[in-house]
């Protein structure tokens, strides 16, 4: 996902692809969807230098944060199908992993397996995420990662369930 204030693209690319015209029917995400439609290996780069960071004021309440997330997830149905599948598999496999761990915890004979599987997941995530957090000047986040990981995937699941019953999405 990209946020407009943290993205840049050439004016010629924007006009050649009719800008946000194909996303005018949704309340948010036009910037993210424009990049999703038009980005490829030849015209995309990621800049992580600290001087390139654009900071935003976070939402002040959990309620306003939830509304924003529901709005963001609404744009996801417009992503390329391949990206939708990738995101669904990634989130779904994480939720299933934690549900399976919880079920196996109930079977005391499998506690060693549960611990080994969870530690293996943490080690792999540490190897992948620590260099990223370090480059983004946030290496201390890696220690919060085990808690954030569980919370994040079940939060995504909850937001998607809420979206099933709340089809009306507003901008603010």
Q: What is the DSSP string of 92-136?
A: HHHHHHHHHHHHHHHSGGGHHHHHHHHHHHHHHHHHHHHHHHHHT
Inform me whether the pLDDT recorded for 168 exceeds 60.
yes
Q: How far apart are CA 91 and CA 84, in angstroms?
A: 11
Q: Which residue has the tokens 């993210």?
A: 32
Q: How far apart are CA 170 and CA 172, in angstroms?
A: 6
Predicted local distance difference test score (pLDDT) of residue 75: 76
Inform me whether the pLDDT recorded for 170 exceeds 70.
no
User: Is the pLDDT higher at 25 or at 122?
Assistant: 122
Q: What is the pLDDT of residues 54-67, one digit of tens each?
A: 878 888 898 888 88
Number of H helices and E strands in the chain, helices first, is 6, 0
User: Is the pLDDT higher at 23 or at 130?
Assistant: 130
Q: What is the pLDDT of residues 83-140, one digit of tens each?
A: 889 988 989 999 999 998 888 888 877 788 888 989 999 999 999 989 988 888 888 8
Nearest to 33 by CA among 91, 67, 80, 71: 80
Predicted local distance difference test score (pLDDT) of residue 119: 92
Q: How far apart are CA 87 and CA 99, in angstroms?
A: 18
CA atoms within 13 A on the CB side of 85: 3
């Amino acid at each position: 996902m990209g946020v407009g204030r943290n993205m840049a693209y050439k004016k010629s690319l924007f006009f050649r692809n009719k800008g946000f015209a194909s996303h005018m029917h949704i309340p948010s995400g036009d910037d993210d969807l424009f990049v999703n439609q038009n980005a490829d290996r030849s015209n995309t780069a990621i800049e992580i230098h600290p001087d390139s960071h654009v900071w935003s004021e976070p939402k002040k309440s959990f309620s306003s944060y939830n509304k924003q997330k529901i709005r963001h997830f609404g744009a996801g149905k417009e992503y390329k199908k391949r990206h939708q599948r990738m995101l669904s598999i990634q989130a779904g496999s994480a939720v299933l992993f934690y549900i399976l761990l919880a079920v196996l915890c109930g079977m005391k004979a499998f506690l060693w397996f549960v611990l080994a599987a969870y530690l293996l997941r943490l080690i792999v995530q540490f190897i992948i995420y620590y260099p990223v957090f370090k480059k983004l000047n946030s290496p201390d986040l890696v220690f919060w990662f085990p808690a954030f990981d569980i919370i994040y995937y079940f939060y995504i699941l909850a937001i998607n369930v809420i979206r099933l019953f709340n089809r009306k999405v507003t901008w603010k």
